[in-house]
Amino acid sequence: MSLPRAAAPAEPVSVPQPAPMIDTSSLKPLLEPRSVAIVGASTVPGKIGAVPVAMLREYAFPGDVFPVNPKAEEVFGYKAVPDIAAIPSAIDLAVIAIPAPGVLAALDACADKGAKAAVVFSSGFAEVSEEGRAAQQQLAERARARGLRIIGPNALGVANIDAGLVASFCPFFKPRFAPGGAVGLVSQSGAFGGYVANLAQDRGLSFTKWITTGNEADIEVADGIAYLAQDDATRVILVYMEGARNGARLVQALEMARAAGKPVVVLKVGRTAVGAEAAASHTASLAGADAVYDAVIAQCGAYRASSIAEWFDLGYAFAFGKAPKNNAIALVTVSGGVGVMMADEAETGGLDTVPLSAAAQDRIRQIVPFAGARNPVDVTGQMLGDLAGFEQMVEVVLAEHPFGSIVGFNAGAGHKEENGFRIQKVWETVRARHPDAYIAISGATPPAVQRAYEAAGCLVFTAPDTAVATAARMARLSARLADAPSPLEAPGAPADIPARALNEHEALDLLKAAGLPAPDVRVAKTPDEAARAAEEIGFPVVVKILSADILHKSDIGGVALNLGTPEAVKEAAAAVLARARAAAPEARIDGVLIAPMMPKGGVETILGVTVDPVFGPMVMFGLGGVLVEVMGDVALRRAPFGLKEARAMIGEIRGAKVLAGARGAPPADTGALAAALVALSRFAAANADRIESIDVNPFLVFPEGKGAVALDAVIVPAAGKAAP
Amino acid sequence: MSLPRAAAPAEPVSVPQPAPMIDTSSLKPLLEPRSVAIVGASTVPGKIGAVPVAMLREYAFPGDVFPVNPKAEEVFGYKAVPDIAAIPSAIDLAVIAIPAPGVLAALDACADKGAKAAVVFSSGFAEVSEEGRAAQQQLAERARARGLRIIGPNALGVANIDAGLVASFCPFFKPRFAPGGAVGLVSQSGAFGGYVANLAQDRGLSFTKWITTGNEADIEVADGIAYLAQDDATRVILVYMEGARNGARLVQALEMARAAGKPVVVLKVGRTAVGAEAAASHTASLAGADAVYDAVIAQCGAYRASSIAEWFDLGYAFAFGKAPKNNAIALVTVSGGVGVMMADEAETGGLDTVPLSAAAQDRIRQIVPFAGARNPVDVTGQMLGDLAGFEQMVEVVLAEHPFGSIVGFNAGAGHKEENGFRIQKVWETVRARHPDAYIAISGATPPAVQRAYEAAGCLVFTAPDTAVATAARMARLSARLADAPSPLEAPGAPADIPARALNEHEALDLLKAAGLPAPDVRVAKTPDEAARAAEEIGFPVVVKILSADILHKSDIGGVALNLGTPEAVKEAAAAVLARARAAAPEARIDGVLIAPMMPKGGVETILGVTVDPVFGPMVMFGLGGVLVEVMGDVALRRAPFGLKEARAMIGEIRGAKVLAGARGAPPADTGALAAALVALSRFAAANADRIESIDVNPFLVFPEGKGAVALDAVIVPAAGKAAP
């Protein structure tokens, strides 16, 4: 018997795939307006209608400012107008800070004055009731009709620090953020956006643009990301989100950031929520909707943080520091034990604490005889007494290897400003000689010294383990950014998928046509036909009941294995048919399936597709048996994708060693497996609206060079099983 | 064929097990001295010999202070003496701050003056050279001979804040720590101990006792833990360690802390280091030495933190707050999305975000109609405008359920002191009505407000996820503290283990005698004997080659399965013997083993023992196959242990679902499995010095009520395989 082979996994032909871009030009009037009207401006400090006016004054916004207030002459030094109609010249941006019932009319009036964008603070829309939802819908439609983009309603607003624009009632824009920041923020939640502004104040970090999207009647998180991807000043994009309205738009925005080489760090809530999607097939139950976000964010080159601290540390690190250019890390510590802790963290994060050469170690021991010289370099407490020696040791380390990261732990050595500045000067020298490295120090550091470090491009963390972990995360994110998706083949062809339950034979046939390897199987209606089919295929064969209505065929005695003669096949087919009719009298039975008996060996895997309501078809991969079902050890990717992503999926499951040949087994044919995943992803993408899920289980992967084969498959059409 | 059964897992008879206690009375002169001499006292501020004198003055140490300095009249206001002999009265504690060569003589002179303890700052001992190690050994011996306990050498010293004692040259005892702290610190590293003192200053946290142990010539980390376990003022013990010199002593100290109901939070470095132990058997390679620390720390009721931040947050939380009394958590937030984030963190940490009743939800919506009312309770931005309403909402939540934890997220609502104090007052009311709950708030909180929260027993965190995660960790640690080990049976009996390689039959016989279920097997020298043995056991049987020198019996055709007749057994025995002789002509062959053929079904597991150089025999448990070998999914416990620990081991592996009956299988007989683990642990403990490792693989666990059986076992005796 010859084994079915996968198509050779040659690199597919690249076809032009112009990345769909989100047009962000309409956001310019929102974030770069020449003039701003504040509807509902207030003279009472702290009020919602007062804060933006006060902040425009505080930030010396260079354009025109028109507070609309029928009772005041002046609001925070700006001449007030009694109503919108009285605004003396055209406006770009309207800030609407009045109760919900008046918003629609205000929007119209502002449009009459030429406004191209509005920030709607007003609450009382979709967040409170169905009526509010309808009002919000009406607001969105009116804005679209009048050619305005809107933020909100129920939003905390936006800011563009360098442009002096604060169109927000967030209290944390005072004290004034410094211009020249590097962090762009997009937050779906206003409360959270304000909280982050407070964190930034505490950390001495400034924003380029600060965008909270609120109810997202129009502008959503993806638009903010797309805008920041094209904003020259923004070097890192921090995103807080609760969910995406439009998955494809989020993917586009993230791909725009990757194309611009900009790291995106995402904090998404709902990590443990069980997806709402009803799990129609077995595979569907394996991948909750949150796991889909995980997969999509990584696939688009972004990074999902697991805590607020991790998320914000990354923003800080990209703003003030450099991402590691390689995985080699040098650790310089005044405590040997803390050096071990840092090496632990490096290894956990995939960084390599490359040992120094014997010669370099000798040179270090010439400076301090009992220093730890291997890397981590333990400079010992002597360092404080002999900073020249310390500098020499650091130089020996750096001369040795082009380390991508250098992390120091000073413990308390720099806690006094005088000593702190002396040590800081040493690191400043290091920075000058190694302008591209990630450099971070940790330990007790007075604020003035910290600012000096940061000005020199050296990061400061309280904890040494965090300093190392952040380097590892930056390295991972940078690698993803650089790792553009593989070119896609021409899209797969739509298949003729009936809107009814498919039997195994039909499912395998469709997948075979799409390029998945599947055995040469025959359908037989009678035991005699079965015997003839077996002779055509060659012995030994398997006989299986063929029915879309019977899912667990073995359980009802619907499978007979390893049949070596026509007689055995005949007998088995008769028995299988009889047992199926007895066990499931209601089932539609299409006959029996005759398939070649597969040789022993090979690794059982599972390939699957679920159509996510937000992101469309997602392809799943895992090992068969307990690893998927009990351990949930699966990899996910949004379809379609190329061989690079398929190979990455195979490598990223925890049980990957099994395919590499664990326990003395030969390595599996991962090339054939990857090609099958690509084919499945193309099929899923081309038929996204016709399917609900696909489950290829088992998909058997033979040893290297021997291919792979789908032994069973279930395709659930989009219309469900009800339609015949 | 009847299945072998495990002994019924009845609760074993409890025998008196007086917990071995470490006598800490000799540490009193170190930490509670009436008088202190500083040898090498200096008048130059900042010098090693100056800091402790200055600090004794700063903290107004109430006892006698004798600076020893031949040139000074007075040191920081204390009258100096020219040499030790000139000290006018008896001293309890000597602080030795002179170069290494003079330390031994100084120790003698201090002993002559009645000193019972010494802190040795001096470096230049074991940390620098072999000569230093010898000098340190001499110092330790002299101290023992003279009846002194010593800290160091190469130590940063100790402090007892309430007693006004700072016997350290750490610079972070100024500004002065407040008395009445709750955190006891034991740090092996002085640099790290100083760094922690700095963290404590920043966090407003004070210590009871602060102990750094340095080179540990005498007093080690375990002694410090034992002392703090018995120290009334200490409510939580923070431990930093690089490794334990004496595993049994660390276990004793941790058990003393558990007996005293005191949480111990351990930061141990070397998480990723591969243990140095050569892995003689397969099982040994599965459990690195660091995993042993993990297991022992948890088994003794302590908690190993995974980062400095987590470790220190727990110290802060136990110092100022209350550990949750149950797993129910209430979440009160001004942002719905952040509420989801907090619920994620609660679920991840094993806490239960119990939904409010419909009635309570109605009451909350009566206060704010569009509040999120289920739990998390989203009080919405209205809260700031209506603090009475906010208080009512919180009351509704708390009246509903005796929540063990209540965590709030204020975002920026309390960033101004005025508002901050108003919100704080609400939480103070909550605290007063719920004195036992864990209460923490998060968001922007000015320092003065933060202090007010802490004074009221409410914790303050910057990040809401950290506030929830800390509650979950405290709950886990508290549960461990309350979960005293199960009473042990009388110790297992030492077995007659030969100092040579054991064959499978001998190994199974020894384990069977120790109480592990094993099949009725017979040894046969000839094919005829084999057939007779099979008839005695009953068919079908298995025939296996019996040789300690052949480890992988199947590979050489040394196993024949499912033999149903005497003739088949005879033939198979002859074939197996012939193949073994051909494949391994050098091997000592003891005949063949005849064993009953096991029925299909049952879960394959692996039980193992390795003797850890620090902690002695450790028992390992995992599922057979890929889960242990590829995923490393094992549980470890220090031997001996009782049924409770055995059951916990079975439950804590990631693949535990397999035993509970995954994929339609019946639940496995975990009672028989637990009994076997207990028996193995007793055997291992009783024979710790005679064995190197044990590997019981597979250990087959049948469905509930049907027992379990060891099918193969390897015991590697301590003397190794070399001795015949």
* Per-residue model confidence as pLDDT tens digits over A321-330: 999 999 999 9
Could you tell me if residue A548 is inside a domain? yes
Q: Is the pLDDT of residue A287 over 50?
A: no
Cross-chain residue pair A443–B626, CB shorter than 8 Å: no
Enumerate the residues of chain B whose CB falls inside 8 A of the CB of residue A472.
Answer: none
Of B191, B631, B663, the CB nearest to A411: B191
Which of A56-65, A74-83, A546-555, B387-396 has the weakest average pLDDT?
A: A546-555
List, for residues B460-482, the tens digit of each pLDDT value: 999 999 999 999 999 999 999 99
Which CATH number characterizes residue A582's domain?
Answer: 3.30.1490.20
Q: Is A574 on the interface with B (CB under 8 A)?
A: no
Could you tell me if residue B284 is inside a domain? no
Distance from A699 to chain B by nearest Cα, in Å?
18
Q: Is the pLDDT of residue A273 over 70?
A: no
| Residues B403, B450 within the same domain | yes
Distances (CA, A) of A356 to A260, A376, A437, A440, A711: 36, 9, 18, 20, 52
Cross-chain residue pair A344–B271, CB shorter than 8 Å: yes
Cross-chain residue pair B444–A416, CB shorter than 8 Å: no
Residue B273 has a pLDDT of 52
User: Which of B596, B626, B648 lies at the terminal end of a domain, its last residue?
Assistant: B596
Residue B716 · residue B281 · CB < 8 Å? yes
Distance from B625 to chain A by nearest Cα, in Å?
9
Residue B433 has a pLDDT of 87
Distance from A308 to chain B by nearest Cα, in Å?
7
Q: Is B269 on the interface with A (CB under 8 A)?
A: yes
List, for residues B649-694, the tens digit of each pLDDT value: 999 998 898 998 876 789 999 999 999 999 999 999 999 999 999 9
List, for residues B36-79, the tens digit of each pLDDT value: 999 999 999 999 999 999 999 999 999 999 999 999 999 999 99
Q: Is A660 on the interface with B (CB under 8 A)?
A: no
| Residues B73, B172 within the same domain | yes
Cross-chain residue pair B128–A370, CB shorter than 8 Å: yes
Residue A1 has a pLDDT of 32
Which CATH number characterizes residue A430's domain?
Answer: 3.40.50.261
Cross-chain residue pair B337–A269, CB shorter than 8 Å: yes
Cross-chain residue pair A171–B344, CB shorter than 8 Å: no
When pLDDT is averaged across residues B525-534 and rounded to a whole number, the result is 93
Could you tell me if residue A53 is inside a domain? yes
Q: Token pair of A694, please?
A: 């696909």
Which of A452-456, A612-616, B274-278, B389-393 has the weakest average pLDDT?
A: B274-278
Closest chain B residue by Cα to residue A130: B370
Conformational region of residue A544, where left means phi above 0, alpha means psi within -120 to 50, and beta covers everything else: beta
Burial class of residue B447, CB neighbours in 10 A (0-12, 13-18, 19+) = exposed
Residue B428 has a pLDDT of 92
User: Which of A571, A596, A621 lies at the terminal end of a domain, its last residue?
Assistant: A596
Cross-chain residue pair B466–A338, CB shorter than 8 Å: no
Cross-chain residue pair B191–A654, CB shorter than 8 Å: no
Could you tell me if residue A278 is inside a domain? no
| Mutation target among B195, B216, B623, B659 for the A interface, most CBs of A within 10 A | B195
Domain with B656 in it: 603-717
3-state secondary structure of A267: strand
B-contacting residues in A 42-101 (Cβ below 8 Å): none
Cross-chain residue pair A308–B189, CB shorter than 8 Å: no
List, for residues B324-360, the tens digit of each pLDDT value: 999 999 999 998 888 889 999 999 999 999 989 999 9
When pLDDT is averaged across residues A638-652 and rounded to a whole number, the result is 95
Which CATH number characterizes residue B620's domain?
Answer: 3.30.470.20
| Residues A81, A161 within the same domain | yes
When pLDDT is averaged across residues A150-159 and rounded to a whole number, the result is 96
Residue A708 has a pLDDT of 96
For residue B352, give the DSSP letter.
Answer: B
Cross-chain residue pair A337–B189, CB shorter than 8 Å: yes
| Mutation target among B129, B130, B173, B269 for the A interface, most CBs of A within 10 A | B269
Q: Is the pLDDT of residue B194 over 50?
A: yes
Distances (CA, A) of A661 to A611, A620, A670, B136: 32, 21, 11, 51
Residue A75 has a pLDDT of 97
Number of domains composing chain A: 4
Q: Is the pLDDT of residue B210 over 90?
A: yes
List, for residues A172-190, the tens digit of each pLDDT value: 999 999 999 999 999 999 9
Cross-chain residue pair B123–A466, CB shorter than 8 Å: no
Could you tell me if residue A274 is inside a domain? no
| Residues A214, A92 within the same domain | yes
Could you tell me if residue A313 is inside a domain? no
Band of residue B555 on the pLDDT scale cut at 50, 70, 90: confident
Cross-chain residue pair B381–A658, CB shorter than 8 Å: no
When pLDDT is averaged across residues B18-47 and rounded to a whole number, the result is 91
Whole-number percent of chain A with pLDDT over 90: 70
Cross-chain residue pair A191–B370, CB shorter than 8 Å: no
Distance from B627 to chain A by nearest Cα, in Å?
8
| Residues B454, B563 within the same domain | no
Q: Is B660 on the interface with A (CB under 8 A)?
A: no
ipTM of the complex: 0.89
When pLDDT is averaged across residues B227-240 and rounded to a whole number, the result is 97
Distance from B243 to chain A by nearest Cα, in Å?
10
Cross-chain residue pair B308–A464, CB shorter than 8 Å: yes
| Mutation target among B626, B634, B653 for the A interface, most CBs of A within 10 A | B626
Residue A279 has a pLDDT of 25
Burial class of residue B516, CB neighbours in 10 A (0-12, 13-18, 19+) = buried
Q: Residue A35: beta bridge partners?
A: A64
> Omega of the bond prior to B99 within 30 degrees of 0, cis?
no
Enumerate the residues of chain B whose CB falls inside 8 A of the CB of residue A379.
Answer: none
Residue B492 has a pLDDT of 78
Burial class of residue A648, CB neighbours in 10 A (0-12, 13-18, 19+) = middle
Q: Is the pLDDT of residue B279 over 60?
A: no
Which of B365-379, B440-454, B608-622 has the weakest average pLDDT?
A: B365-379
3-state secondary structure B88-135: CCCCCEEEECCCHHHHHHHHHHHHHCCCCEEEECCCCCCCCCHHHHHH
Q: Is A632 on the interface with B (CB under 8 A)?
A: no
Could you tell me if residue B620 is inside a domain? yes
Band of residue A277 on the pLDDT scale cut at 50, 70, 90: very low
Band of residue B391 on the pLDDT scale cut at 50, 70, 90: confident
Cross-chain residue pair A191–B411, CB shorter than 8 Å: yes
| Mutation target among A174, A192, A212 for the B interface, most CBs of B within 10 A | A192
Residue B285 has a pLDDT of 36
Q: Which is more confident, A171 or A281?
A: A171
**Number of residue pairs across A and B with CB atoms under 8 Å?**
186
Distance CA A183, CA A231 (A): 11
Q: Is A556 on the interface with B (CB under 8 A)?
A: no
Cross-chain residue pair A195–B443, CB shorter than 8 Å: yes
Residue B77 has a pLDDT of 96
| Residues A429, A530 within the same domain | no
Give all strands (DSSP E) within B115-274, no chain letters: 117-120, 149-151, 157-160, 165-168, 183-187, 207-212, 236-241, 264-268
| Mutation target among A125, A195, A216, A663 for the B interface, most CBs of B within 10 A | A195
Band of residue A599 on the pLDDT scale cut at 50, 70, 90: confident
| Residues B119, B184 within the same domain | yes
List, for residues B561-596, the tens digit of each pLDDT value: 999 999 999 999 999 999 999 988 888 898 999 999
| Mutation target among B189, B335, B473 for the A interface, most CBs of A within 10 A | B335
Distance CA B121, CA B97 (A): 5
Which CATH number characterizes residue A84's domain?
Answer: 3.40.50.720
Residue B550 has a pLDDT of 83
Task: State the average pLDDT for chain A.
Answer: 89
Cross-chain residue pair A411–B195, CB shorter than 8 Å: yes
| Residues B585, B663 within the same domain | no
Residue A16 has a pLDDT of 39
| Residues B537, B417 within the same domain | no
User: Which of B482, B503, B529 lies at the terminal end of a domain, its last residue?
Assistant: B482
- Exposed e or buried b per residue across A319-354, where buried means at least 16 C-beta atoms within 10 angstroms of its C-beta: bbbbbbebbbbbbbbbbbbbbbbbbbbbbebebbbb
Q: Residue A407: beta bridge partners?
A: A331, A440
Half-sphere exposure of A530 (CA within 13 A, CB side): 32
| Residues A355, A327 within the same domain | yes
Cβ within 8 Å of residue A288, ≥6 positions away: A273, A274, A275
Which of A38-52, A445-459, B478-492 has the weakest average pLDDT?
A: B478-492
Cross-chain residue pair A194–B411, CB shorter than 8 Å: yes
Band of residue A532 on the pLDDT scale cut at 50, 70, 90: very high
Distance from A315 to chain B by nearest Cα, in Å?
16
Q: Is the pLDDT of residue B541 over 90?
A: yes
Q: Is B705 on the interface with A (CB under 8 A)?
A: no
| Residues A123, A256 within the same domain | yes
Q: Is the pLDDT of residue A193 over 70?
A: yes
| Residues A128, A178 within the same domain | yes
3-state secondary structure of B377: strand
Residue A484 · residue A676 · CB < 8 Å? no
Cross-chain residue pair A657–B630, CB shorter than 8 Å: yes
Nearest CA-CA partner of B203 in A381, A463, A440:
A463
Q: How far apart are the first and last CA of chain B?
A: 37
Q: Is A562 on the interface with B (CB under 8 A)?
A: no
Q: Is the pLDDT of residue A371 over 90?
A: no
Closest chain A residue by Cα to residue B126: A370
Q: Is B605 on the interface with A (CB under 8 A)?
A: no
Cβ within 8 Å of residue B261, ≥6 positions away: B481
Conformational region of residue B664, where left means phi above 0, alpha means psi within -120 to 50, and beta covers everything else: left
Band of residue A671 on the pLDDT scale cut at 50, 70, 90: very high
Distance CA B283, CA B694 (A): 8
Closest chain B residue by Cα to residue A379: B191
Residue A381 has a pLDDT of 76
Q: Which is more confident, A516 or B400?
A: A516
Closest chain A residue by Cα to residue B282: A663
Q: Is A470 on the interface with B (CB under 8 A)?
A: no
Could you tell me if residue B129 is inside a domain? yes
Distance CA B95, CA B75 (A): 14
Closest chain B residue by Cα to residue A202: B444
List, for residues B487-514, the tens digit of each pLDDT value: 777 777 888 888 887 887 889 999 999 9
B-contacting residues in A 230-249 (Cβ below 8 Å): 240, 242
Enumerate the residues of chain A whose CB falls inside 8 A of the CB of residue B334.
Answer: 191
Whole-number percent of chain B with pLDDT over 70: 94
Residue A275 has a pLDDT of 26
